[in-house]
Chain A
Amino acid sequence: MNTSHQHTDAHTPIEGRDEAIEFEILETAVRELSIAKGLFSAEDHRRFMEWYDNIGPTGGARVVARAWVDPQFKQRLLADGVAACKELGIDWMAPTGHGTPSDFTWLVACENTPKLHNVIVCTLCSCYPRPLLGHSPAWYERPNYRRRVVRWPRQVLAEFGLIIPPDVEIRVHDSNQKTRYIVLPMRPSDTEGWSEEKLATIVTRDTMIGVAVPRIDWTTTSTPSGQARAE
């Protein structure tokens, strides 16, 4: 074969690295060909990359904290999630002007109560409220969570360290169509007098998926022992 490098049985791995480079090469090729063919522009891709870097669970935390301190806002959030997010500058229409192709623009906030605990999954792929929570944790995308949480929710939550009493209903939301969901957790009782900003620090990603509940000693920046460190 007459190429610039020698083919042997396999491509030579980079020294000291065992991870496949094949996907990096394919990704670059697909992206560069798509741009060269005019399917999208380099500027489109740059804008999406910028959007990608700007989303994260602090957006969701701000929404939850506002709902905790402002009952009218909470009602608006429950009635029309996308419009309520816009009030806080979280735009479900970004970055294309009509939303992302995979996240759509229909948000339902699921309110936890003393008698109801909500948890989110997408068994068929990994639909997730990206504009509010950023990118999903790896366990959310992987088959094990998708397989089990719809059928054994109490066991799966227990593996996250969350024991739900039997007199509290667990409601699983399997996000299988266009709607995206976020859990609106209960405000811990010992947070009277906290500012909205301080409240937002205890609203972690997992509390908005529903595999955890907010605790005053667990903030978005602390790492409780035994908990996996955020990436």
Chain B
Amino acid sequence: MSKFEIGDRVTVRNLPALFHTRTQGYTRGHTGVVVGLRPKWVIPEDEAWGRYEGRREPFYMVRFNQRELWPDYGGAVIDTLETEFSERWLESAAAENTAGKTP
């Protein structure tokens, strides 16, 4: 079972990256909406380091408003960006808010 459903608001965990990542720095700590579900795949953190039969997780397509990603975004307010995350990188945006953490 997938942890998130289409329409869920999710925040990308704001963890530091070292050596290699598939979670772009510009997405970490930012909140978007799940707009697509992907099949389970081996997470890149395992594939990148030679664990080809590593941990498998669902992936999610998340849509961000560009103003959420870039405070100085100069384009239209309706502009968006979509990119994907494995489950471990996402947490419910609501849960994050109650924990009092700010991105």
Chain A residues with CB under 8 Å of chain B are 106, 108, 123-124, 150-155, 166-179
Contact = CB atoms under 8 A, between A and B. Distances in A.
Interface in B15-49: 21-24, 26, 36, 38-39, 41, 44
A178 to B, nearest CB: 6
23 contacts: A108-B36, A123-B24, A150-B69, A151-B66, A151-B70, A153-B66, A154-B75, A154-B76, A166-B75, A166-B76, A167-B76, A167-B78, A171-B79, A171-B80, A171-B82, A172-B82, A174-B83, A175-B83, A176-B24, A176-B83, A177-B85, A178-B41, A179-B84
A171 B81 contact: yes
Contacts of B66: 151, 153, 172
Contact of A169 (B26, B39, B80): B80
Contacts of A178: 38, 41, 59, 84
Interface string B85-102: 110000000000000000
Contact of A151 (B23, B41, B63, B73): B73
Interface SS of chain A: helix, strand, loop or mixed? Answer: loop
A124 B22 contact: yes
Nearest to B38: A179
Contacts of A150: 26, 69, 81
Contacts of B82: 171-174
A167 B73 CA distance: 16
B22 A177 contact: yes
B22 A151 contact: no
B19 to A, nearest CB: 13
A172 B81 contact: yes
Contacts of B69: 150-151
Given A151-B69, A152-B75, 11 more contacts: A151-B70, A151-B73, A153-B75, A154-B75, A166-B75, A168-B76, A169-B79, A171-B79, A175-B83, A176-B83, A178-B38
